[in-house]
């Protein structure tokens, strides 16, 4: 069930904490003028240009968040138009702005530091408009570059230990992380961001696939070496982090996969210099799975047992907007409009807004590490600063029952700002949401790879909250934090837990 020597995960987690984790160099200096190239470019591969049609999918964003498309008796196979939409609204360029004299391209999903270190690949059989192959998505010009010709899905099926969602998928997205693009600013903490930023993208992927009427799920269990070899990655600098199978065919992939030979594909260097952070590679190595039998055992074990405190008195039930009151803006338009708030106004949001976001965005998504269906590895703790209909204070959200519990009433704006590395955004937000997990029980169940799963679940849920906030015409932004200060603040209720993610939600301040 994964590497049982979980000391590696603990060493990495504790060593990458702010302010004084021993893997962080206080003398490190970040120069944004020397950012790595935020694209992977294959100069010798002819691009297959993707065309995004003008007609929007008509499913409202909040509906796309809350729904999961179920597998049907008939095949559910994406065509090239749907693949184009899923890729574009997951990781494509949605706006280009001129900032400080430079043009900056922003993607469909939020990314730490806007450094865009996550790459997307597509492994598919024959689709309407696209031949079977292994492709790389280039968001610069919205194109696919074919790395391998032929149907290589069987390699992913075997690698995943015969995971059913992979075995019956006509198309599978593979997410990878390019270390240096993010480590240039965040050092060893980059490996946390690998899953934070994969997760916010996957939130978009799942929502757009739903709007296309296609089932999609998240797979974290796979033989790392096989997937990396299939994509011909240089694993000292780039590694696979997650699979997202899309669609469903009635007959599972059968027959042998073509031989996976080493590709000699030239890529454009992303930087003229690079600093190595061995702890990133070490954490990835010790959380890797090495054979299909080990993957199956990792996936099929019992659910982790969590040390959850007893519910407090006086539960507060959510009051989400009724269906006929929900905004009807389509998911693609909300994703295009979405950004990361740079300033909150301190004006309150309503309890209906908060309730709707929690109700819609925390609906469980299908994943190989969330079995039996409905379990969760994370809990959401909140600092409420300004929510009409809810007194300021610290709260915990019980997703299984859809209710809030007040831990302590009070004005905690100062504490919110302090715990968010002194950033005004955390103090000014209407509500801050902290994604906490019982990391000890998760590592006991999943081994070191459980660290990947816990980070990813938190970030996917946070990415869905991002979408939910913008669907309601609010703002949201991900923030970093002082790990131990957050746990101390919410203790004794949160004693023994660990922080995975922090998201602030509120009303955006008007730009002057």
State pLDDT tens for residues 134-145: 999 999 999 999
Percent of the chain with pLDDT over 90: 84
- Nearest CA among 365, 383, 363 for reference residue 479: 383
Task: Give the chain's end-to-end CA distance (angstroms, integer).
Answer: 54
Cα–Cα–Cα angle for 68, 73, 74, rounded to 5 degrees: 95
State pLDDT tens for residues 175-222: 999 999 999 999 999 999 999 999 999 999 999 999 999 999 999 999
Residue 116 reports pLDDT greater than 90? yes
Residue 241 reports pLDDT greater than 70? yes
Please give the C-alpha separations between residue 408 and each of 298, 487, 505, in angstroms, as whole numbers.
39, 15, 20
pLDDT tier at 280 (50, 70, 90 boundaries)? very high
SS3 state of residue 484? helix
Residue 380 reports pLDDT greater than 60? yes
Compute the mean pLDDT over every residue in the chain, rounded to the nearest whole number: 94
- Nearest CA among 457, 510, 13, 489 for reference residue 199: 457
Q: What integer pLDDT is reported at residue 195 of this predicted model? A: 98
Residue 309 reports pLDDT greater than 60? no
| Residue 270 exposed, middle or buried by CB count within 10 Å (0-12, 13-18, 19+) | buried
Give the relative orientation of helices 278-286 and 7-15 as an angle to the nearest 10 degrees.
150
Pairing of strands 133-138, 475-479: unpaired
Q: What is the CA radius of gyration of the chain?
A: 22
How far apart CA 449 and CA 307 sit, in angstroms, is: 20
Q: Are 471 and 62 in contact (CB under 8 A)?
A: yes
Residue 435 reports pLDDT greater than 70? yes
Give the bridge partners for 121, in sequence order: 136, 174
Q: In the block, which residue shows the tokens 């007959």?
A: 251
SS3 state of residue 267? coil
State pLDDT tens for residues 24-44: 999 999 999 899 999 999 999
- Residue 363, token pair as written in the block: 């609906």
Q: Do domains 36-299 and 316-506 have the same CATH topology?
A: yes
* Rounded average pLDDT over 234-252: 95
- Nearest CA among 140, 10, 11 for reference residue 443: 10
330: region left, alpha or beta (phi > 0 left; psi from -120 to 50 alpha): beta
- Residue 139, token pair as written in the block: 């968001």
Which CATH code of 3.50.50.60, 3.40.50.880, 1.10.3720.10, 3.40.109.10 fits the domain covering 36-299?
3.40.109.10
- Nearest CA among 193, 197, 189, 188 for reference residue 276: 188
Domain locations in the chain as residue ranges:
36-299, 316-506
* Rounded average pLDDT over 302-325: 79
DSSP string covering 20-89: T-TTS-TT----GGGPPPSS---TTS--EE----SSPP--BHHHHHH--PPP-SS-B---HHHHHHHHHH
pLDDT tier at 3 (50, 70, 90 boundaries)? low
DSSP 8-state code for residue 130: B
State pLDDT tens for residues 161-185: 999 999 999 999 999 999 999 999 9
The CATH-assigned architecture of domain 316-506 is 3-Layer(aba) Sandwich (3.40)
Q: Are 87 and 120 in contact (CB under 8 A)?
A: yes
Residue 13 reports pLDDT greater than 60? yes
pTM: 0.96
Q: What integer pLDDT is reported at residue 179 of this predicted model? A: 98
Q: Are 457 and 377 in contact (CB under 8 A)?
A: yes
The stretches of 238-306 forming alpha helices (DSSP H) are: 278-286, 292-299
Please state the length of the chain.
Answer: 512
Q: What integer pLDDT is reported at residue 100 of this predicted model? A: 66
* Sheet strands (E) in 100-258: 102-107, 118-124, 133-138, 143-149, 171-178, 238-246
Please give the C-alpha separations between residue 29 and each of 34, 184, 226, in angstroms, as whole numbers.
11, 9, 36
* Rounded average pLDDT over 215-240: 97
Residue 167 host element (H or E): helix 164-167
How far apart CA 367 and CA 125 sit, in angstroms, is: 22
Q: Are 207 and 240 in contact (CB under 8 A)?
A: no
SS3 state of residue 237? coil
Residue 208 host element (H or E): helix 190-211
Residue 311 reports pLDDT greater than 60? no
Residue 160 reports pLDDT greater than 90? yes
How far apart CA 464 and CA 108 sit, in angstroms, is: 13
State pLDDT tens for residues 467-510: 999 999 999 999 999 999 999 999 999 999 999 999 999 999 87
């Amino acid at each position: 069930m994964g590497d049982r020597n979980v000391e590696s995960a603990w060493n990495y987690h504790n060593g990458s904490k702010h302010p004084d984790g021993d893997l962080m160099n206080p003398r490190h200096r970040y120069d944004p003028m020397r950012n790595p190239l935020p694209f992977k470019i294959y100069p010798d591969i002819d691009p297959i240009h993707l065309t995004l049609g003008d007609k929007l999918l008509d499913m409202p964003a909040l509906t796309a968040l809350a729904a999961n498309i179920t597998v049907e008796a008939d095949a559910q196979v994406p065509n090239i138009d749907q693949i184009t939409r899923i890729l574009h609204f997951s990781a494509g360029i949605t706006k280009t702005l001129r900032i400080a004299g430079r043009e900056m391209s922003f993607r469909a999903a939020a990314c730490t530091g806007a450094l865009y270190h996550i790459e997307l690949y597509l492994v598919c059989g024959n689709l309407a408009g696209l031949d079977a192959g292994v492709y790389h998505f280039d968001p610069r010009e919205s194109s696919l570059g074919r790395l391998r010709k032929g149907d290589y899905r069987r390699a992913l099926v075997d690698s995943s230990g015969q995971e059913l969602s992979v075995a019956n998928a006509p198309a599978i997205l593979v997410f990878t992380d390019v270390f240096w693009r993010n480590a240039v600013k965040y050092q060893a903490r980059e490996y946390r961001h690998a899953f934070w930023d994969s997760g916010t993208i996957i939130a978009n992927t799942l929502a757009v696939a739903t709007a296309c009427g296609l089932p999609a799920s998240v797979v974290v269990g796979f033989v790392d070496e096989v997937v990396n070899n299939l994509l011909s990655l240089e694993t000292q600098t780039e590694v696979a982090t997650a699979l997202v199978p899309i669609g469903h065919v009635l007959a599972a992939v059968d027959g042998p996969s073509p031989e996976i030979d080493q590709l000699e594909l030239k890529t454009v260097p992303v930087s003229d210099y690079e600093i190595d952070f061995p702890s990133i590679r070490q954490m990835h190595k010790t959380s890797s799975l090495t054979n299909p039998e080990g993957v199956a055992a990792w996936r099929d074990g019992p659910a982790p047992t969590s040390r959850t405190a007893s519910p407090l008195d006086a539960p507060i039930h959510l009051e989400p907007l009724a269906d006929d009151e929900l905004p009807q803006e389509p998911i693609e338009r909300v994703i295009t409009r979405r950004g990361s708030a740079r300033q909150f106004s301190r004006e309150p949001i309503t309890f209906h807004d908060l309730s709707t976001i929690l109700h819609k965005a925390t609906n469980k998504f299908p994943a190989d590490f969330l079995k039996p269906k409905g379990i969760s590895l994370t809990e959401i703790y909140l600092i409420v600063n300004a929510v009409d209909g809810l007194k300021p204070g610290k709260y915990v959200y019980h997703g299984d029952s859809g209710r809030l519990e007040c831990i302590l009433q009070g004005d905690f704006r100062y504490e919110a700002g302090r715990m968010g590395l002194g950033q005004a955004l955390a103090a000014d937000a209407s509500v801050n949401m902290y994604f906490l997990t019982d990391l000890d029980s998760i590592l006991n169940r999943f081994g070191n790879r459980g660290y990947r799963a816990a980070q990813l679940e938190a970030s996917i849920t946070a990415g869905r909250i991002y979408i939910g906030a913008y669907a309601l015409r609010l703002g949201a932004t991900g923030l970093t934090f002082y790990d131990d200060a957050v746990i101390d603040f919410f203790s004794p209720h949160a004693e023994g837990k660990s922080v995975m993610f922090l998201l602030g939600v509120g009303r955006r301040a008007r730009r002057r």
